[in-house]
Amino acid sequence: MQLLKQKKINYNLLDDDNKEIFLYEINNHLLMGEKPSEFFENIVDVPLMQKHPFHMLYNLTKAEQSPVHHPEGNVWNHTMLVIDNAAKEKHKSKNQKVFMWAALLHDIGKPDTTKIRKGKITSYDHERVGAVLAHEFLSEFITDELFIKNVTALIRWHMQILHVVKVMPFADIKAMKKETDIHEVALLGYCDRMGRKDPDADKEKQNIDMFIKKCREFEE
């Protein structure tokens, strides 16, 4: 097993000139940590997390969710559960780096889209907004446009599992299949659904199977 390099870094002392070092550490723990959330919980309150572009992650701590669908709490809590599940499942992905970054940033659009409608907390269209913000975040450091495109595509389409399985008007299998791999969407979607308090793994696996079946049967 590949071990994390142990670096004595005081994250509280990092400033704007050290953003690349901070990103490297995030990437390192995201890809190689067995439980990445432990690292992220340690850095969430360091000053650099409130600077651009890391503030997009910090804002997840202030975005509340529906207690019915997300009893685990705010978007940050949810994301921590998702990346830990993703770390367990990443060996199934065709591109683990794309997959893990998509898991980390999948709900980055929720802070900007969360509203209370008729007494309920909603975040409609957060996947579209999230794809735009994820592009902005990654473009701050990365010049690999294909990598960014693949990450943002997974974020853009990660809600399609719900839309396709429930035959909702937002389902768009044709457009999704043109931009990304349905199996990668399915894997991210499974980790997303498991990133909740006391999830029903069997039920979620059934939903994933149904999603893949419907996508395969779709005729353009």
What's the mean per-residue pLDDT of the chain? 93
Give pLDDT, residue 50.
95
Q: Round the CA-based radius of gyration of the chain to a whole number and report it.
A: 17
- Residue of 61 and 9 predicted with greater confidence: 61
- How would residue 211 be classed by pLDDT, with cut points 50, 70 and 90? very high
Residue carrying the six token digits 């704007």: 16
Integer Cα distance of 201 and 10 in angstroms: 38
- Tell the residue number behind the tokens 């009893």, with chain if given: 71
In angstroms, what CA-CA distances link 203 with 63, 139, 207, 210? 27, 37, 6, 11
> pLDDT of 66-96, one tens digit each?
787 788 889 999 999 999 999 999 999 999 9
Looking at residue 35, what DSSP letter applies? S
pLDDT band at 220 (very low <50, low <70, confident <90, very high): low
Taking phi over 0 as left and psi of -120 to 50 as alpha, with beta for the rest, 64 belongs to beta
Handedness of CA 177, 178, 183, 184 (dihedral sign): negative
Mean pLDDT of 53-63: 96
Distance between CA 54 and CA 32 in Å, rounded?
20
Q: Which of 70, 199, 163 is nearest to 60 (CA)?
A: 70
pLDDT at 48 over 90: yes
